[in-house]
Every structure is written in C-alpha cells, then in structure tokens.
A = this chain, B = another copy of it.
C-alpha cells in the first residue's frame, strides 16, 4: 500500500509511461499504414526524407535504445542497416519492436530512471531523459508524416486516438 502511495504521488508512474508510449506507438502504426506503399517509400516535401526513412530512424531508436538500458550491449545507431523496404516489412518491424519494448520496459525499474547513460554510445543523459527523447522524437516525426498525408489528400488518423 505504501508503495502504491509513492507511485501515485508521482507525475506519471512507470506503468503509465509505458502505456503512454504504447499509445503513441499504436498511433504511429496507423499513420504508417495510412500511406500508400509508393508514397511511404518515396513522397517528400522540402528535401526531407520520405516517411519510411523517418520510421527507420524510429525503429533504430526505440527498442534498441531500451535494450541498452537493460544492459545487453551498447550499439551505435544502425538505421541505415535496417531492411525496411516495403510497407509490410516496416509494419512487421514496428510490431516486433513494440513487443520488445514491452519486454525490456519491466527490466528497467523506475529506481534506474535517473541513472546516467550514454545513449547509443554518444548521447549524454539519464534513462529518463533518453526515454522521453525517444517518445518525443516519435511524436515529432509522426507529425511530419501527417503533413505528407495531408499533402497527398489523405486524412491522417486523429492525434487524440491512441
């Protein structure tokens, strides 16, 4: 009971933050799925990457970033090596990453969230600041994808539906 009291006296609990991220990941999956295959791989605005390129970055960050936090290994970012060459492949990689995030999450208890880390061997921060960066970066690139969708005449999934 006392632990519960401590938990709910925080701005967001460990379990809530996972649900928060998973809600965002579900929305990002719907945004990926809203793209026609060709436009997912090729459509761009203003010299930016196609949305598939942004998703490859997200795939290289989320689960691999958490894996480092559970002590498996420190890897550099490897997005260029990802074989995300079709919409079906990207969605499959996305779903696999989501499952890995659920597994790793419970191996990073809240007591560790203020431990200092060097994410991907190069970005200074704490586990907490790194995870918030991962989530924020996903929101950021997904939002850019929604502008691509609008430019293509496609109504994006609603932001508030998770």
Within 8 Å CB of A45, what residues of B?
Answer: 45, 147, 150-151
Q: Would you give the shortest CB distance from A92 to chain B, in whole angstroms?
A: 25
B46 touches A150 (CB 8 A): yes
Identify A9's interface contact among B20, B111, B148, B149, CB under 8 A.
B111
Task: State the oligomeric state as a number of copies.
Answer: 2
A140 touches B128 (CB 8 A): no
Within 8 Å CB of A16, what residues of B?
Answer: 128
Given the interface contacts A10-B10, A11-B110, A139-B139, does A20 sit within 8 Å of B147 by beta carbon? no
A115-142: which have CB < 8 Å to B? 128, 131-133, 136-137, 139-142
Q: Counting CB contacts under 8 A, is A89 at the interface? A: no
The 6 closest A-B pairs by CB, nearest first: A46-B150, A143-B143, A10-B10, A147-B147, A46-B151, A140-B143
Can you report 19 A-B residue pairs in the complex whose CB atoms are below 8 A from each other?
Answer: A9-B110, A10-B11, A10-B113, A11-B12, A11-B17, A11-B110, A11-B113, A12-B17, A45-B45, A45-B151, A46-B149, A46-B151, A47-B150, A48-B150, A139-B139, A139-B140, A139-B143, A140-B159, A147-B148
